[in-house]
Amino acid sequence: MPRTEALEPETRPAGFLPSLSDAVRRLVHFRLGLAGFVIILFFGILAIGAPYIAPYGENQQSYNILQPPSAQHLLGTDSIGRDTLSRIIYGSQVSMEFGFGVALLSLVLGIILGAFPGYFGGLIDDLFSRFFDTVLMIPAFFLIILAVALFGSNIQTSMLIVALTSWPSNARITRAQVLTLKTRAYVQASTVTGAGHLRILFKHILPNGISPVIANSALQMANAVLIEASLSFLGLSDPNHVSWGTIIFGAVENFNAWWLSMAGVTLMILTLGFNFAADGVSYLLTPRLEVAKG
Amino acid sequence: MTELLKVEGLTVEYALNGHYVKAVDDVSLTVNKGDALGIVGESGCGKSSLALAIMGILPDNARIASGIVQFEGEDLLKMPQSRQRRDIRWKRISMIFQSSMNALNPVYRVGSTLTSVAEFKRKVSRNEAAEIVERLYRLVGMDPSRMKNFPHQYSGGMRQRAVIAMSLICEPPLIIADEPTTALDVVVQNQILKTLRKLREDLGMAIILISHDVGVIGETCERVAVMYGGKLFETGSAKQLFSKPNNPYTRALLGCFPDLENPKRKLNGIPGEPPDLTMIPPGCRFAPRCAYAKEICRTQAPPIYELEAGHKSLCHFAKELSQ
Amino acid sequence: MTPLLEAQRLTKRYSASREIMSGESQNASSMIMAVDSVSFKVAKGETLGLVGQSGSGKTTVGKLVLRLEYPSEGRILYEGEDIHLFKRKRLRDFRSKVQMIFQDPYESLDPRLSLRSSLEEPLIVHGIRSRSEKTLRVEDVLTKVGLTPPQRFLKLRPDQLSGGQRQRAAIARSLILQPELVVADEPVSMLDVSVSAEILNLMLELKRSMNIAYLFITHNLPHAAYFCDRICVMRQGQIVEEGTAENVLRHPEADYTKTLISSIPLYPHQ
């Protein structure tokens, strides 16, 4: 059955990663997705360049206690005279580290543990599906509280626990993609020319199926950032590094110091940024028809 | 008057990366009451866009750049969509698509779907509608007891029959069928085409049949139009086109179909690619692939030459080729 | 003379447990018999057509011959040996000698890879790594299928090619290991008729110049008659007729074949 090739919208297999120039062109049209990426980039720069950007030190105390915003301290100071703006800038380090760290680990775990069962099927697949469901039941937050109680508050441990409890969503998506893609003709063609399983998985299936997992990762970053902020708000985070949650807690402690809650605004913006970026990645996958005028 | 549909100078454009691409380029044709017109062409030639334009259901990225589509005396292009939906679509003109079989809602019984359409379009009671549908089932060769089944319980051929029945609910004078049998088994295809021919005899409706398969067109239609690159390259009666094809494209196209009497006779394909509609060359758009092309074909657009009454060919050398 | 390929009472059953079947109870015997005791032979350099409509089992036979699926019963012999007993080296050897062309030109090639990568993969898998040798063979095979100049096409990705060009590329990939047998499952069904004819002629030419045997699977009997030396007509998993192309078309014996032939739409004067 011949298809009408000439004028139908481009149909790409699910998960197809567009070329870079194509991606950029599409993003420019989808302002929200672009905004998301810009926000992430912004905070990334803040995090990396904190020592150079922040006007004061992370824990630099002064005698200007609980001052409202002024020319010297744009976002005021806290109960021991530390500049809020600087602490917020430094706080982005922890947030970004937590967000990216968790997402990366969860991504790698999820892809590997989702691809193999999906590809080989059978008993392994059944077992792993039950395993995913089980792990998903574990409440990450309480596990972290337990770990902090046992091992002390350590950013790496917390990251590890969050990643270990969130990888199944990536695994589920990967598995579904692998199941779909392994029936594609080009995959069968590779088998027929003698390619081994690993080559087929990593060279053909995963590159074609990975995009929804990346979108999901962006959402996981948002979630991780919120978890980290919650932990530090409760005082369960590493006391050596300032985090937005800690600053926000300062606003609770000192009720009139509203400027300390600005860390909540940055938290909201970054979380939104990850969400928009996730939308942006999804958008990149879906071809759009132009609307004819006239 | 016997004239049912008159299309004149129809041009349909699609938006593509900021440019407009002509999918249908200055097409004119006429369909009289009870006619069977076949439009034959390969993918990308514009035949489906032509059908959608007549029905008024082009997608958002397409527009009608010029032309008239006169149906029963009124210009459909100037008619507001609301009126088209109410009075024309499915009442006066119906359409059957290639993947019509998937047009049946899988969670409703087929009979129920059709009965709802009958109720709504013919403004009758549920019982009367059910009777109409029963009659239609028999007309298309299906047992009415199957009305209570779901689409997945039907074979592909049966689903297509159901869709044909659905298109006949208001007994429209014109049906447009776009590749109605392409997705079907060849044996089932034959049965469906037989059914369509019989329906024409019984109900006297006109049909525009669109297909890439000249055999399908040849068995069903009295008049044929050959489309290529958005233009009509040859039009005429089936007899004229198949026994004395004039246009080089028509000849080349016929040569692509195997001869059952002589199965090993060399099949001639057409070298090259269909034209890139974003870059239409000057001159004849078939020239790059034409065995008879001369210099003039590449520079000047060919005229429509009338060989005899009703037989037209878009070619510089139509006259020479007819000898 | 040992045939190149032989199928002996090939049978494949699928369990229907996941399908919703109207009015039939779910029990152990609700199995679908996709292929039912099919036997045939293909000699070196010969073209055998498997002609049938959807559900006839022809595609499943193709998958079984390619060892993409396991038969429920029966055997497939390649050069006299059971292909399911092949391990390692013999399997690798089999995988270089038996190739495939599939129906959908939009799916036969990995959309993310350039033509060069797709074509080089079989070579790499079989140990040919020298850059110059790979380039030589890839350019050679592209020229053979008419995608010239090869240097231009090497860099392109599938979405930059037309359907006919993609199918040519898929054919090129099937040839690069210089196979003895190619299983072609509906190689032209999704192409325009003008392109189909060209592709069929290309495959015929390659058959002659490279002495390739084909298992040509199609629903289109006239195409099979054009392309094949012999034809098997399949219906519901079984072979109902077998013979030379001309005989099956002009002097069909089985009722089903006769129905099939009389159903082919012909324009007047064809």
How is chain C split into domains, by residue range?
5-263
Does residue C247 belong to the interface with chain A, where contact is any CB pair within 8 Å? no
The reply to whether residue A290 touches residue B61, judged by beta carbons under 8 angstroms, is yes
Specify whether the CB–CB gap between A106 and A220 falls below 8 A.
Answer: yes
Which positions in chain B touch A293 (Cβ < 8 Å)?
15, 63
pLDDT number for residue B273: 82
What is the tens place of the pLDDT at every residue in B264-292? Answer: 889 998 988 888 888 888 899 999 999 89
Q: What span, in angstroms and rounded, lies between the C-alpha atoms of B255 and C193?
A: 10
B144–chain C nearest CA distance, Å: 17
Report whether the peptide linkage leading into residue A168 is cis, meaning its omega lies within 30 degrees of zero.
no
Query: Is-contact A85 A74, C-beta < 8 A?
Result: yes
Give CA–CA dist C170/A284, Å, rounded.
Answer: 28
> Counting every residue, how long is chain C?
270
Nearest CB partner across the interface for B257, out of C193, C195, C200? C193
Q: With contact defined as beta carbons under 8 Å apart, do B118 and B129 qualify?
A: yes
Q: What is the pLDDT of residues C28-77, one digit of tens each?
A: 457 888 999 999 999 999 999 999 998 899 999 999 999 999 999 999 99
Residues of B in contact with C201 (CB under 8 A): 266-267, 269
Q: Flag whether pLDDT at B262 surpasses 90.
A: no
**What is the pairing mode between strands B223-228 and B36-40?**
parallel
- Helix locations, B207-322, DSSP H: 214-220, 238-243, 248-254, 295-299, 318-321
- Would you list which residues of chain A are within 8 Å, Cβ to Cβ, of chain B? 1-7, 289-294
CA distance to A88, A91, A145, per residue, from A231 (Å): 16, 13, 8
For residue B254, give how far its alpha carbon lies from the nearest alpha carbon of chain C (Å): 9
For B118, phi then psi, to 5°, come to -65, -45
Contact B186 C201 (CB under 8 A): no
**Residue C106 near chain A (CB below 8 Å):** yes
Please report the pLDDT score of residue C80 as a whole number.
92
Q: Which two tokens stand for residue B165?
A: 């029945």
**CA separation for the pair C192, C212 (Å, rounded):** 25
Question: Using alpha carbons only, what angle is made at residue B87 by residues B85 and B91, rounded to the nearest 5 degrees?
Answer: 95
Report how far apart, in Å, the C-alpha atoms of A139 and of each of A144, A169, A177 are.
Answer: 9, 14, 27
Q: Tally Cβ neighbours within 10 Å of residue A28.
A: 10
Cβ burial of C251 (10 Å; 0-12, 13-18, 19+) is: exposed
Separation of CA A168 from chain center: 15
Touching subunits for chain C (3+ Cβ pairs under 8 A): A, B
Residue B53 CB-density burial (10 A; 0-12 exposed, 13-18 middle, 19+ buried)? buried
Among all chains, which residue has been given the structure tokens 């391990």? C87
Q: Looking at the partner chain, which of C20, C22, C225 has a beta carbon nearest the beta carbon of B258? A: C225
Question: For every one of its 270 residues, what pLDDT tens digit does chain C have, with 9 covering 90 and above?
Answer: 789 999 999 999 988 654 444 444 444 457 888 999 999 999 999 999 999 998 899 999 999 999 999 999 999 999 999 999 998 889 999 999 999 999 888 888 998 899 999 999 999 999 998 999 999 999 999 999 999 899 999 999 998 888 889 999 999 999 999 999 999 999 999 899 999 999 999 999 999 999 999 999 999 999 999 999 999 999 999 999 999 999 999 999 999 999 999 999 988 766
If you write DSSP's letter for every residue of C89-140 in order, what string do you get? HHHHHHHHHEEEE-S-TTTSS-TTS-HHHHHHHHHHHTT---HHHHHHHHHH
Token pair listed for A266: 């940055």
Task: State the sign of the Cα–Cα–Cα–Cα dihedral B237, B242, B246, B251.
Answer: positive
User: Residue-wise over A283-293: b if at least 16 C-beta within 10 A, else e?
Assistant: bbbeeeeeebe
pLDDT recorded at residue B147: 94
Q: Dihedral sign for Cα B253, B256, B258, B264, please.
A: positive
Domain covering C5-263 in this structure, CATH number = 3.40.50.300
**Identity of the residue in B15, B48, B212 whose CB atom sits nearest the CB atom of A292:** B15
Using the beta-carbon criterion (under 8 Å), do A199 and C192 form an inter-chain contact? no
Rounded to an integer, what is the distance from CA B99 to the centroid of its chain? Answer: 14
- SS3 letters across C31-88: EEEEEEEEEEEECCCCEEEEECCCCCCHHHHHHHHCCCCCCCEEEEEECCEEHHHCCH
Residues of chain A falling short of pLDDT 70: 1-29, 285-294
Structure tokens at C86: 């092949």
Chain C residues with CB-CB distance to A195 below 8 A: 121-122, 125
For residue A186, give how far its alpha carbon lies from the nearest alpha carbon of chain C (Å). Answer: 5
Domains of chain B: residue spans and CATH: 3-92+170-321 (3.40.50.300), 102-169 (no CATH)
Q: Residues with Cβ < 8 Å from A291, sequence gap 6 or more?
A: B15, B60, B61
Tens digit of each residue's pLDDT (9 = 90 or more) over B66-122: 999 999 989 998 899 898 888 888 899 999 988 776 788 999 999 999 999 999 999
How far apart are the CA of B193 and the nearest CA of chain C, in angstroms?
9
- For A239, the 3-state DSSP assignment is coil
Distance to chain B for A98, nearest Cα, Å: 41
Helix (H) or strand (E) holding B5: strand B3-16
Structure tokens at A248: 């926000």
| Residues 130-169 of chain C whose Cβ lies under 8 A from any Cβ of chain B | 162, 164-165
> Chain C: nearest CA to B219, how far in angstroms?
6
Query: Which residues face C15 on adjacent strands?
Result: C31
CA distance B174 to B176: 7
Out of 3.40.190.10, 1.10.510.10, 3.20.20.450, 1.10.3720.10, the CATH code matching A20-53+87-285 is: 1.10.3720.10
Structure ipTM: 0.87
What's the pLDDT tens digit per position in B121-161? 999 999 999 999 999 999 898 999 999 999 989 988 899 99
The count of other CB atoms within 10 Å of the CB of residue B17 is: 7
A199 and chain C in contact, CB less than 8 A: yes
* Interatomic CA distance for residues B162 and B146, integer angstroms: 10
**Residues listed for chain B:** 323
